[in-house]
Amino acid sequence: MSTEIIDVHGHVTPPELLKRFPMPPSLGDVDGMIERKAALGIGLTIVGSPVGAGTMLPVPGLDNYAQTVEQIEGFHEWLAETVRSHPGHLRGYVYHNPFATDDSLARAQKRLAQDEFVGLIVNTSVRGRYLDAPEAEATFAMAAETGAPILLHPPAEPVGAGAFGKNVGLVEHVCRPCDVTAGVAAILAAGWLVKYPGLKLIAPNAGGALALLPEKLDLAQQRAQTEGPRFSELLARIHVDTATPSGNALSAAANVFTPEHLLFGTDSPPLATPLDRALDLLSDVDLTAEQLAGVRAGNARALFGLGTR
């Protein structure tokens, strides 16, 4: 696969959902996304939806977790066909609700066996519950067994979103990164990384605020008298993407998670941050030429097994 840069964090949406829900039109412009990114050397984007056949924008009465099997399967069929229609430019994430009580886990695993899909996209919290709950364990067990990376994406309604009222901007740019922070902390506390050493987890937005909290996480572990590796040590096993407008956040992430676990990601579409700015931010991070090449593509190839699929 001849891709100069790999973007591990993009989103696309079927035309019928764009007509049904208020969403940015860019989510439906797949060809335009590929063209804009290719002009900057971004050859491959891994795309998916953190809400399946739902929407990240608030819609009165809509419950993203009440989707039918037909709706979710229909979304995955569309995504698989979209990937097949753009060979070399797209790969897909399988959407999965870790608290679902039907056969969705088996269906997600079946999707992962398709060449179009290279990982899972799972919310950091579901209806106000983090993934330290026992019901979520089966998802982590399956991901470890299959080797599928999990993009731990914040949900449309993260924990505490209601306190912001109708301020969508604060929900998107403050509350959701906080959900990533708290959601990953809950995963550490649950011991899933210890129980399943093969887990491959990706925390978007440079890991939220996690790069500022290693010592605090260790203090929390001490307070709870949790045995095993220190939480700060486990952080170095988690991958993070570069989907943040902050050079300081990227530098902190590289220091805590290590450059080998840093993945280029834009959250685009739909994020409107200029793509060239997303690339320029990497120059703010103290990386060797080899490490920079890893962030731009090599780390993603190794994590997703892109050279072997």
Q: What is the pLDDT of residues 133-151, one digit of tens each?
A: 999 999 999 999 999 999 9
| pLDDT, tens digit (0-9, with 9 covering 90-100), for 58-76 | 888 889 999 999 999 999 9
The structural domains of the chain, with segments of one domain joined by +, span 5-304
195 sits in which H/E element: helix 192-195
How far is residue 154's CA from residue 41's CA, in Å, rounded to a whole number? 28
Task: Output the pTM of the full model.
Answer: 0.95
- pLDDT attached to residue 226: 87
- pLDDT attached to residue 273: 67
Of the candidates 2, 116, 95, which has an alpha carbon nearest to the alpha carbon of residue 50? 95
Percentage with pLDDT > 70 across the chain: 98
The domain defined by 5-304 folds into TIM Barrel (3.20.20)
- Token code pair at residue 149: 């990376």
pLDDT band at 272 (very low <50, low <70, confident <90, very high): low
As a whole number, mean pLDDT of residues 249-263 equals 97
- Token code pair at residue 100: 């679902």
- pLDDT attached to residue 171: 92
pLDDT band at 1 (very low <50, low <70, confident <90, very high): very low
Q: What is the DSSP string of 210-222?
A: GGG-HHHHHHHHH
> In 10 A of CB 270, how many CB atoms?
17
- pLDDT attached to residue 308: 57
Q: What is the average pLDDT score of the chain?
A: 94
As a whole number, mean pLDDT of residues 298-304 equals 97
